[in-house]
Amino acid sequence: MWNRILTWLGSAPIADEVDRRNAPVMQLLLLFYGIALPANWAWHLSSRPIPKGWTIVLILDLITASLALFSVFLIRRGKFRIAIKLFVAAQLASLTLAYHMLGAQAQLIDQVSVILVLVISGLVLGRRALWTAFSLLVVVFAIGFVTDANNSQQTAQWIANSMRNAPSLVLSYLIITIILDRTLTALRESLAESKAGQRELQREMAERERAQAQLIHAQKLEATGRLASGVAHDFNNILDVILGFSAQRHRLQELSDERERTDGLADALDGVEVAARRGTALSRKLLSFSRRDLLKLETFDLSAALAELQPMLRQLFPPKVRLQYAASEEPLPVRMDRSELELMVLNVAANARDAMPDGGHFTVTVSQSDGHAEIAMADDGQGMGDPVKRQIFEPFFTTKSAADGTGLGLSVIRDLIAAAGGDIRVDSELGKGSTFYLRLPLASGGIGADR
């Protein structure tokens, strides 16, 4: 029951976030005023008549109760601030009439209304409304004291005592107003700082996501750039083959046998077609590798994918580095973006190349262990000590110069592996080389199940 009431109170269509949070409490307060004031008078009048001079108080309370209920109606229509201003205005008008009719002694009737006007004005409407309400209350007090001064029914001593109370009365409410002002300012500043921090955090998260995407793309381009010379070499070989077949036309024209000349020309064209297809496949692979697209998840055989990557790896290493590949004897289906797998392997291989400036061996081994496919990439380069091993997966950590490395490659690999549900670790000692182990979960359903 209570939860339903709170849900109803919080369902008012109010745009401002702070006002929307204040709305349930203010509706409860207004409903209390609208119901409790008439009920209180009904209870008093059931046992005794209206005291002399209190008729105006009854009328003001009933008017205030009616305006409180009307303010609830306005809040339910989304007009929160108008409703609160109306209620505060009603309270001030009620106090003004009470002080005008009863003088300063009205302060003894109801001090709650005065405090309530200050609290609602400050905490709900803001600092300007708070000081406006205080200024109007000073005017109300002045009206009451003027009424007392002109009251011929009271003694001179009573009036003098009333006047002496004026400064302390105003000073008391001034202190309350100052405290509310300082509290309100602190709350508003704290809320503003919290919102600013939230916006900054959201901006930083968005920037980090964009930077991550740009970084992955940059890593692909970097790896592609390292392969450029090898790709150019392959294309030169393909072009040499095409030129060789094309040059045969001169030899074929010297043949006297028409059939032999036709067969030779057909064989040459077949050779040109095969070479051209090889060049097309090479360029398509390079383009798909460097293209900036969304992830393209697919299920493929890890051993076959790494076998196809071997020509690119050979071009990555100089001739004095020997490349060895040991494939698994059984299919190892994994599900991930294939270009990301190539990116990871090429980055590790590039680091191994830099660790072997005088040549050496780079071995790629694919195996299965505990429901995972594992890629072990080992080199016999310079190796790493424990302090370096503890930091190699941290962003921007690198032992290379600024011109040779950004310190982001292994950090990206770690994130890509984690996104695919795997992990990465390294074994290394100074002077004894390094071995990186990339573990990926085996995909269910077999190779090509998602196509």
Pick the range with the lowest mean pLDDT from 104-113, 182-191, 243-252.
104-113
161-184 pLDDT per residue, tens: 566 666 777 787 788 888 888 887
429-440 pLDDT tens trace: 888 889 999 999
Compare 214 and 82 and report the one with higher pLDDT. Answer: 82
How far is the C-alpha of 271 from the C-alpha of 249, rounded, in Å?
13
- As a whole number of angstroms, the distance between CA 284 and CA 277 comes to 10
Q: pLDDT at position 60, please?
A: 79
- DSSP characters for 174-212? HHHHHHHHHHHHHHHHHHHHHHHHHHHHHHHHHHHHHHH
Region 289-301 average pLDDT: 68
C-beta of residue 57 within 8 angstroms of C-beta of residue 86:
no
Q: Which two tokens stand for residue 436?
A: 């990186």
Residue/partner pairs of 139-146 with CB below 8 Å, 24 or more apart: 139/96, 140/92, 140/95, 140/96, 140/99, 141/99, 141/104, 141/107, 141/166, 141/169, 141/170, 143/96, 143/99, 143/100, 144/99, 144/100, 144/102, 144/103, 144/104, 144/105, 144/106, 144/107, 145/103, 145/104
State residue 362 phi and psi, 5-degree precision: -130, 120
**pLDDT of res. 167:** 72
**pLDDT value for 231:** 57
Tell me what pLDDT residue 412 has.
Answer: 76
Q: Lowest-confidence range among 17-31, 103-117, 150-164, 337-351?
A: 150-164
* Nearest-angstrom CA–CA distance, 100 and 187: 36
Listed in order, the ranges of the chain carrying CATH 3.30.565.10 are 294-441
Percent of the chain with pLDDT over 70: 75
CB atoms within 10 A of CB 365: 17
- Residue 443, Cβ neighbours under 10 Å: how many? 21
Rounded to a whole number, what is the distance in angstroms from the first to the last CA of the chain? 53
Q: Which residues contact 61 (CB under 8 A, 6 or more apart)?
A: 37, 38, 41, 94
Q: Which of 176-185, 257-266, 285-294 has the lowest mean pLDDT?
A: 285-294
Residue 405 has pLDDT above 90, yes or no: no
Give ∠ CA 59-117-147 in degrees, rounded to 5. Answer: 55
**Distance in angstroms (rounded) separating the CA atoms of residues 133 and 349:** 74
Measured between alpha carbons, how far is 129 from 117 in angstroms, rounded to an integer? 10
Q: Give the model's pLDDT for residue 209.
A: 81
Give the three-class secondary structure for 361: strand
Q: Are 176 and 115 in contact (CB under 8 A)?
A: yes
**Residue 376 pLDDT more than 90?**
yes
How many CB atoms are closer than 10 A to CB 449?
12
Residue with tokens 């405290």: 179
* Residue 100: band (very low, low, confident or very high) from pLDDT cuts 50, 70, 90: low
pLDDT higher than threshold 90 for residue 108: no
**Over 60: is that where the pLDDT of 306 sits?**
yes
Tally of CA atoms within 13 A in the half-sphere of 266 that contains its CB: 6
Q: What is the mean predicted confidence (pLDDT) over 321-326?
A: 90
> Which CATH superfamily groups domain 294-441?
Histidine kinase-like ATPase, C-terminal domain (3.30.565.10)
What pLDDT does 366 receive?
93
Tokens of 96: 């003004």
- Mean pLDDT over all residues of the chain? 77
Residue of 128 and 277 predicted with greater confidence: 128
* Exposure on the CB side of residue 47, measured as CA atoms within 13 A: 4
pLDDT, residue 220, reads 66
**Cα 373 to Cα 65: distance, rounded to the nearest angstrom:** 76
> What CA–CA distances, in Å, run from 396 to 353, 406, 407?
20, 6, 4
More confident residue, 398 or 31: 31
Strand, coil or helix: 298: strand
Question: Which of 145-159, 220-234, 257-271, 413-427 comes out lowest in average pLDDT?
Answer: 220-234
Task: Give pLDDT, residue 158.
Answer: 55
E strand or H helix at 67: helix 55-76
If you average pLDDT over residues 373-397, what whole number do you get?
83
Q: How high is the pLDDT of residue 101?
A: 64
* Cβ partners under 8 Å of residue 204, min gap 6: none
pLDDT at position 47:
79
Report yes or no: 415 and 427 within 8 Å, Cβ to Cβ.
no
